[in-house]
Chains A and B, each alone.
Chain A
């Protein structure tokens, strides 16, 4: 049998893993390099879960409402200068047995003071309608505010609190209402808003009415005629996508989805650092013990298994870094567990090889037979573990997902490392094993 390709592959694997390992280390040291992403429980910060009351929202618009909520809260966290905030709508889990609840998860790294975190998010989005006044300098109105472009805006008292809802429609073009399929944004006010809006539009035909969200100008349509019905139609100057965004933003101002705080967690930075240090320490100790055990029990094959285990670890760390996977305390625990399990396949294979060697089978055949015969239990065993990992992932809660993802990836990667890599190495080492049979002897005590 030609061993050259196996030896070439074995060398490539070792070299590649070493380079990858060094690359991981170097990019971690480099301040501008890619770093591992750690979860809040390791770096400190706040984790908040809001429950949104979507009972009054049309079911077809729930996703839109949640997306609007997400955007506004993300804007708020950015406004407060939180670095790398995470705002996401929780995906409903199929395991969820209660009524489908819309939840919003907010993670604020570094914000360990819960009061401050709640203050950042808690405020109601502010929608304001202001009349566009004459350019700055020409106006002496006390209530006007000047923008950076020199434009002045006059407060009208009309805000999102008075809006009942905004919706999107498209013009048909038939009634002389401009182009066909032009996006139209309908704004419905409540009774108080209707009166105020009627008064403003009556007195200011031809003036631009600017719409501000959280102090940011989002649109400034021109008032064409007095509007008494409490419904404003905003058109022109935006495409369908922008119109959709505008409707969404207008609806935020009207708060279509009241939110309430369901879960809060804040972790101090010192505790997180301690968990991380201890986790890494436990990992190194566990890894060393497992590697020593494999080496003493199986000698040469044990060494090969250790090498495959190191490659497995480098591979997993590369996945964590470049996918990237956020590393949490539970994720570290899952990774450690997967290290212990990664050598299981090797144990099964080596024990099978031992049987074959005892029968007097030549080394190379024993290796091949060991792999072929050990495959069914390895496959079945890993498959059941994978079932657990997948169900855990669907479990939903983010702490569980971190663990399940690492655990599941670990099972897949370890099947590759413990089978493909170990097999390549063992075949490549055929000559060595034949020349120095004692290398097989300790764990394979009864070998003739």
Chain B
């Protein structure tokens, strides 16, 4: 077998991407749990630990640059590495969303507030589930699975709209709480954006297998943490 070094380096990179992915999944779910429990201490830890996700992303990026420079990958290998560069950027941004949720918990402190936590948890589960399967499709280079995942975003968007309206009603009913409720809007917005970014990962998996760069989703690209 030729290209053993390159093959080995790519395998290591896949492991690192999966590790980064699991860090992001965990940070997302934990940030929601911290919100549910109004656990400021855990939220602060999650907030601080986002740097580990950033560091991991840069380490992978650096490894890819070294691989490109030293191994001169072509065709599928090149597309794979280019796709990872994009995927780790998406994962790092998802990590920022989790950090943003942790920040909300920190800012809320023990403020009395009705949090639609079951719906928020559901949104998180849906988004993280999509992310998990998107990364699995990436590793297995399964374009068929990858191209089906973006459609699931509809359920996340629908939950987002539901919670959004619920929170707006809460604001109208209790203007004193507008600032706190606004923080919750951030939480659901971040979760909605996480699911959008899963679509970008799926697009890269299709690119790896077909060489075609195509948009799978036309939802807005508004970007706020």
| A associates with B | no
